[in-house]
Every structure is written in C-alpha cells, then in structure tokens.
Amino acid sequence: NHNPKTSIVLFGATGDLAKRKLYPSIYNLYITGKLSEQFVVIGIARRPWDDQTLRDNVRKAIEEAHLPTDNIEQFCNHFFYLPFDVTDTKSYQRLNQRLQELETEFHIPGNRIYYMAMAPEFFGTIAIQLKNEGVTQSDGWNRLVIEKPFGHDLPSAQKLNNEIREAFTEDQIYRIDHYLGKEMVQNIEVIRFANAIFEPLWNNRHISNIQITSSEVLGVEDRGGYYETSGALRDMVQNHLLQMVLLLSMDPPIRLATDEVRSEKIKVLRAVRSISSEEADDYFIRGQYDAGTIQDHQVPGYRSEKNVNPESKTETFVSGKLMIDNHRWAGVPFYVRTGKRMAQKSTKIVVQFKDLPLNVYTQKNEKQDSSIHPNLLVIHIQPDEGITLILNGKKIGLLGETIPVKLDYSHTSVDGVNTPEAYERLIYDCMLGDATNFAHWDEVNLSWALIDPISEAWSDSNKDIAKYEAGTMGPIESERLLEKDGFKWWPLE
C-alpha cells in the first residue's frame, strides 16, 4: 500500500518547525499523490486557535514555501485543531475522542502518527500520557516521531528513552535526523554500493582520509537561549555529522532492510575509537565566532548576540578527528567540522585517495615541486547536490605536466536552500513503516557516549575558547589539527 491512510497528531502545530518544514512537506506528499484522501492532521498547541485559524496558517506556510496552491482548499479540509495542555489528562481524552470521530468520518483504520515538534522537555510526559489515556490503543498502528535534540548528554538521553519506551516499543519510535532524509546523504550508499569503481577502493589501502564539512553563514539568530545550552558539538556532531561518518564507513549491508542497515551502522559505530576527556584536545578543537564581515555586511560576535552570555564559552565551531579501529579503516582519519558564521553555507564530503607509489610526473617537471594532485571524490550535499571526481589529465601542449580535471555531476536541487524534501521523505517513510533513515536507540546511545567526554573536557577547561573571525572557515587550530597528520582541509569550491 503506497497511499497510507493515517492520522497525524502534530504536537507543536503553531511552532516554527511545523510552519517552515512540516506543512509544506505534507502538502507536497498530497499533491504528488502519495497521500490518499484518507488522512487527517490534528494540530495541537497551547494557543486557543480553532480549525479555521490552523487552516489559514497552513495555507500561509504553503504560500511562503512557494508551492503551487491549486489544491490547497481541499488539502486544508484535512486539518483540525485542538487547544491542548500537555500536562492535563483531560486533553488526551479529548484527543482520543476527536481521533475516533475523524477516523470514522475519513475512513482511517486507526493508524496514528504522533509527531513531537515541541520543546523536548515534554516528549516523555506526552508519550506516557498517550498510553495511559488509551490513545495508543487504536485498531491500527501507532508510531512516535521524535525531533532532535534527543537528550543533551548520555544520562538525559537514557532518561528520555526510558520514558518513551514505557509507552512505545523501539520499532514504533522514529527518531528524526533530518540529514538522513537528504537526497545526497541517501546517495552516499548508492555511490558506494552500486559502483564497481568505488567499493573496491573504499578502505585504508586506497583512501588516505575523509573530510566532512557542514558550514553555515548564519549566526545563532534568535535561538541564542537554546544554543547556549547546546553548542555545535551537541547540535551538529553528535547526530548529523556522526551519521554521515557511519554511512561512509559502514560495511555493505546484506540487504537494504532496516535491520540490516542499522546493524552495520551500529557495528561500525562500536569501532569508532573512544576519546577520553584527557585526550579530547588531541582529537577535537572548538571555536567561537567574533565580529566580522560576511557578504559585505558587518556582523556581531557570538558574545554580543541576543540571549547569549557576554562571557559565553559555548562553541559555535567544532573540528575533530575520528578514528575507526577496524580492518577496513585502521589508520584513516575521518575529519569533521561544522560551524556558524563561516565563509559559506555548505555541506560536503571529500574523500581523498592515497597517492600512487611512484609519481613519474613530478620527476620530469623540475619547476613544479608539488606532487600530482590527489584524486578526490567530493559529495555535495547542500546547497548544491551532486558529485565531483578530481582526476589528473595531461596539460595540453606541455610534455610531462599534469593538471587536475574535474568531472562534475550535479543534481538541480529545488530552490537550493530550505527545500522541504528531507522532511517530506521522512514523514512518508514513517507512514510506510520504514525506519531505515531514522536513528535507532543504539546509535543515539553510543554517539552520546562518544561525545560526552569531549563536552566534559570543554566545560571543565579554564582555557579560553579559540576565536575565529565571522566569514572565515574557523580558527587556525582547525587547520593545525590536519597539519599534524600531514593533511589539509580541501577548499569547498
């Protein structure tokens, strides 16, 4: 069945995520025929809205996403609103009743998705109340979608997980990592496992290092309050960057089934070398943006942003090295870096292949001391989508001189930035019951265990945090991290 009949209960229906991502995504599923007419969305939040207010807001969100609005009237008729206090038992009873009425009216067989798009401190309470008030005892399936952050360290993640596991089984839980919904992130597996020219080279005999960058131009905007409690390590590395490391490093699964893919990811995650607090500085460095110029605009430093402590030590930049101690990867560093207020917005992976054992070209070419350019495979995730392969060719006319040649393949991404596609795909996967592109608890558990000693080392340190000028690629320490190993960050053009 490719047109699932579903009710979506959306906690946080008046929020930013709902407006910018979820409504446009559900609408796209509708206009592309992936949703049958047998669906409803019950929006839940504190505000005393009614169905019409929600529908007006959904319409506005879709207009702002520049989507075609032909079917919008018909679409909005599937939306209902319930003012809700998440701590009040009666709210859940009213929800259950409303669901039953709407399921009868829309012929939906009791399939229910509970989408948590609200402050994470409520996730546990909501899950437990949904069970206690019998909402999850419908005739169809019941699934819980959880937004990030999933905890802010291992103990808090375990606590949250224990709470939601009281009401939902692991296979009913869909932990969102929206990077896993991105076209080119999913393409990593295709590039690796569907190409005879890459898979045989995908190991420490042929790859020298892998670099993953996710950079932003924006600063902390109006999320200073949240960001102060989080920082780049928790906000980006623990989830998104680590997920990309796993997709790049896992062994080929025997089948493309959820359990097979997940068990390969978990297996390689267990092989990632743990880093103690004492060793943290050898593997990870942090930075914080100072004032600077971006695209001809003066921007303030992090410490002058709204709701940020003027003496804040929160990192807005992280650069780190992960080692995977298994047969395939022993000795190959995986470098990751991410930050705000950097020179450009980009998510990219660079796979650097090892040099040939003998290079006849530099020997002939006296004036050029550099060796030939290493072969690189660049996977562009956003805003451009595509791959570039850098090979060496002969420089025209000159004997014995080589020149790097770029083979470019690019996907035209819709609008470039902020396409709702990742969420669209993930919501649809959840409706179909496919959890492959969601994080399993074992992944979340192990990744916090890896990250916690680093955050502890940083919070205990009295060293001042390295600063970088807004509009650059981070502090000099980030370059040094690779120089130590004889490498450099490849430019992101």
Sites of contact with ligand NAD (CB under 6 A)? 12-18, 45-47, 84-86, 117-120, 147-149
State which residue, 76 or 378, has the beta carbon closest to ligand NAD.
76
Cα within 13 Å of Cα(317), Cβ side: 34
- In the complex, minimum distance from the CB of residue 376 to ligand NAD, in angstroms, rounded to a whole number: 31
In 3D, which of 218, 468, 490, 184 has the Cα closest to residue 344?
218
Q: What angle do CA 43, 48, 49 make, to 5 degrees?
A: 50
- CB neighbourhood size of 325 (10 A): 12
- What are the tokens at 141? 């399936």
- In the complex, minimum distance from the CB of residue 45 to ligand NAD, in angstroms, rounded to a whole number: 3
State which residue, 239 or 375, has the beta carbon closest to ligand NAD.
239
Largest CA distance in the chain: 82
In 3D, which of 259, 254, 244, 265 has the Cα closest to residue 188?
244
Measured CA distances, 100 to 103, 123, 284, 296, 397 (Å): 5, 23, 52, 56, 77
In 3D, which of 184, 239, 256, 302 has the Cα closest to residue 450?
239
State which residue, 12 or 219, has the beta carbon closest to ligand NAD.
12
State which residue, 225 or 331, has the beta carbon closest to ligand NAD.
225
- What are the tokens at 299? 């921007």
- In the complex, minimum distance from the CB of residue 267 to ligand NAD, in angstroms, rounded to a whole number: 28
Q: Catalytic residue among 152, 178, 240, 380, which? A: 240
State which residue, 222 or 483, has the beta carbon closest to ligand NAD.
222
- What are the tokens at 191? 């590039």
State which residue, 48 or 357, has the beta carbon closest to ligand NAD.
48
- In the complex, minimum distance from the CB of residue 148 to ligand NAD, in angstroms, rounded to a whole number: 5
State which residue, 99 or 457, has the beta carbon closest to ligand NAD.
99
Q: Is residue 327 annotated as a catalytic residue, yes or no?
A: no
- In the complex, minimum distance from the CB of residue 223 to ligand NAD, in angstroms, rounded to a whole number: 8
Round to whole Å and give the CA distance between 259 and 262.
5
In 3D, which of 123, 203, 206 has the Cα closest to residue 168?
123
- In the complex, minimum distance from the CB of residue 316 to ligand NAD, in angstroms, rounded to a whole number: 17
Alpha helices in 23-112 (DSSP H): 23-31, 51-64, 72-76, 89-106
Cα within 13 Å of Cα(153), Cβ side: 8
Cα within 13 Å of Cα(483), Cβ side: 5
Measured CA distances, 27 to 19, 22, 40, 470 (Å): 12, 8, 12, 37
CB–CB of 277/456 below 8 Å?
Answer: yes
DSSP element (H, E) containing 378: strand 376-382
- In the complex, minimum distance from the CB of residue 486 to ligand NAD, in angstroms, rounded to a whole number: 37
Round to whole Å and give the CA distance between 432 and 358.
52
Q: Which residue is nearest to ligand NAD (CB)?
A: 15
Residues annotated as part of the active site: 240
